[in-house]
Amino acid sequence: MIRWIFIFVLIGIFVIVAVWFAEHPGRVGIEIAGLQIQTEAGIFVVALVLFAIVSAILYRLWRFIRRAPGGLLDHRRSNRRQRGYQALTQGMVAVAAGDAGEARKFARQAESLLNDPPLTMLLSAQAAQLEGDEDAARRYFEEMLENPEMAFLGTRGLLMQAVRAEDNAEALRLAESAFRLRPNTPWVLRRMFDLQVGARKWADANQTVQRAVRIGVVDAETGRRQRAVIAVALSDEASAAGDASAALKQARVAQDLVPGLVPATVALIRCLAASDKMRRAVKAAEAAWSAGPHPDLAAAFDGLGDENEAPLDRVKRFQRLCSFRPEHSESHYALAEASLAAHLWGEARRHLEATGGDNPTARHCRLMAELEEKETGNLEVTRQWLDRAVAAPQGESWYCNECGSIAGHWTPGCNSCGAFDGLEWQLPPGVVALPPAAIVPALTASDTEK
Ligand SMILES: [Zn+2]
């Protein structure tokens, strides 16, 4: 509207000026470099106005032309970006497919097309890794650390490199910095826990488990068991350092977390004894034996006797302990061993014959050999038992669920493969325990079928 009023006003002024010039004729003369131009004033004004209009049109045209190449450049730029993203995508697919050559090619393309290092660095690092160039990959990962948005990815890359190189100290350092960057990432918590228990940093591992349980990465029961095992380790560590009260405290923590955990009870019995709480130690051993007899409990209970305890007194102590589970094979073995030490051959034989079955374990065969050697001195029979022991099944042992090795005694981590809480008291796979009563009817049944 204003624009139209402006145009009407302009036209009005133009008409007034034209009329004025028509009514007042005159001439205009210009002399430039010896050239003389003479014209009527009216025509001169019209020429002036025409010149102004043409100039304005030319200016507009020039502006349009000047802008046009800019538009073209923008188009070329967005096209480049699109090709860059395409290369990035194809590169990632190549990484997933494990195609090192393709990955490298697209990584280079993406790098030059996008010119956006944070975006292409990960692809370049992965491509380098696929080609086996770990040094180049490390340089990319380290560069990523400089960029706050990429620091976590860079740390992850370096951590995986350290894990593959089995540099556990460096891996733990990197896991801890990954944790600082993103404290609730499940894989960071799991990896950091594994490295902490591997480095025997029990207190740190304990905190990691608690956080993992809090955010739901580890279920409550697994978390409790892991904390119990850690508490046993802390108790052992305090015992070794001579701090009896800390050792006892941790043993109690372990026992409270998982009441049936044999190593926790063993630690508790030993710590109570070390703190001169003998009656409580005996009570703890008896309660545990009645819940589930175990050779490690028998060994801990054995340690509760006086230094100069007479063998017969020792047998009496074990008789009381085993009275809580008189039929259990561990009760028979515990009493057989105590009786052997006290030269009570008849008692020892009675207990050994009450257990063992048709296919006795190596442990049973060795005890029989010891009895024959000590009681009768019959070397032939003794050797037969020792020969049998070699081929006899292993029986229940601390068997590692991860690597399948058998440990002589329990440790928080497997001594062969390092698996935390990997040892479980069980029959090694392939060994089937059958009570004697189950074997005999099975044989007779098949005999009658024939
Ligand atoms: Zn193992």
> Is the torsion defined by CA of 173, 179, 181, 187 positive or negative?
positive
Nearest to 209 by CA among 220, 131, 198, 199: 220
Q: What is the CA(422)–ligand 1 centre distance, in A?
A: 6
Indicate whether 20 belongs to any domain.
Answer: yes
Query: Distance between CA 236 and CA 266 in Å, rounded?
Result: 11
- Cβ < 5 A residues, ion ligand 1: 400, 402-403, 414, 416-417, 419, 422
Query: Distance between CA 114 and CA 80 in Å, rounded?
Result: 7
pLDDT confidence of residue 436: 42
What is the distance, to the nearest Å, from the Cα of residue 359 to the centroid of all Cα atoms in its chain? 43
- Give the range of the structural domain holding residue 56, as residue numbers without chain letter: 2-73
pLDDT confidence of residue 72: 66
Amino acid at 439: I
pLDDT confidence of residue 444: 37
Q: What is the CA(380)–ligand 1 centre distance, in A?
A: 38
Does pLDDT of 440 surpass 60?
no
Burial letters 246-271, b for 16+ CB under 10 A, else e: bbbbbbbbbbebbeebbbbbbbbbbb
Please give the average per-residue pLDDT across 78-84, as a whole number: 87
Q: 431 pLDDT band (50/70/90 cuts)? A: low
Query: Distance between CA 306 and CA 313 in Å, rounded?
Result: 10
Q: What is the CA(199)–ligand 1 centre distance, in A?
A: 16
CB contact at 8 A, 335 and 318: yes
Q: What is the CA(404)–ligand 1 centre distance, in A?
A: 6
Indicate whether 12 belongs to any domain.
Answer: yes
Indicate the number of domains in the chain. Answer: 1
Query: Which residues, 6 or more positions from 381, have their beta carbon under 8 angstroms from its beta carbon?
Result: 372
Q: What pTM does this model have? A: 0.73
Does pLDDT of 434 surpass 60?
no
Q: What is the CA(434)–ligand 1 centre distance, in A?
A: 27
Q: What is the CA(421)–ligand 1 centre distance, in A?
A: 9
Please give the average per-residue pLDDT across 168-194, as a whole number: 96
**How many other C-beta atoms can be found within 10 angstroms of the C-beta atom of residue 17?**
14
Does pLDDT of 220 surpass 50?
yes
pLDDT confidence of residue 70: 62
Q: What is the CA(204)–ligand 1 centre distance, in A?
A: 22
Two structure tokens written together for 247: 């050792």
Q: What is the CA(408)–ligand 1 centre distance, in A?
A: 12
Indicate whether 246 belongs to any domain.
Answer: no
Strand spans (E) along 289-412: 397-400, 406-407
Q: What is the CA(60)–ligand 1 centre distance, in A?
A: 83
Lowest mean pLDDT among 26-35, 198-207, 412-421: 26-35
The residue with tokens 């004729």 is 25
In order, the DSSP letters of 162-227 are HHHTT-HHHHHHHHHHHHHH-TT-HHHHHHHHHHHHHTT-HHHHHHHHHHHHHTTSS-HHHHHHHH
Q: With 0-12 CB in 10 A as exposed, 13-18 as middle and 19+ as buried, what is 176?
A: middle
> Is the torsion defined by CA of 82, 85, 91, 93 positive or negative?
negative
Helix residue ranges per DSSP H, 241-344:
244-257, 262-274, 278-291, 295-302, 311-322, 329-341
Two structure tokens written together for 135: 């040094």
Query: Distance between CA 336 and CA 295 in Å, rounded?
Result: 12
Indicate whether 48 belongs to any domain.
Answer: yes
Please give the average per-residue pLDDT across 271-281, as a whole number: 95
Indicate whether 433 belongs to any domain.
Answer: no
Q: What is the CA(430)–ligand 1 centre distance, in A?
A: 17
Torsion of CA 144, 150, 153, 155, to 10 degrees: 50
Indicate whether 56 belongs to any domain.
Answer: yes
Q: What is the CA(406)–ligand 1 centre distance, in A?
A: 8
What is the rounded average pLDDT for all residues in the chain? 89
Indicate whether 29 belongs to any domain.
Answer: yes
Q: 438 pLDDT band (50/70/90 cuts)? A: very low
Indicate whether 66 belongs to any domain.
Answer: yes
Two structure tokens written together for 447: 């005999």
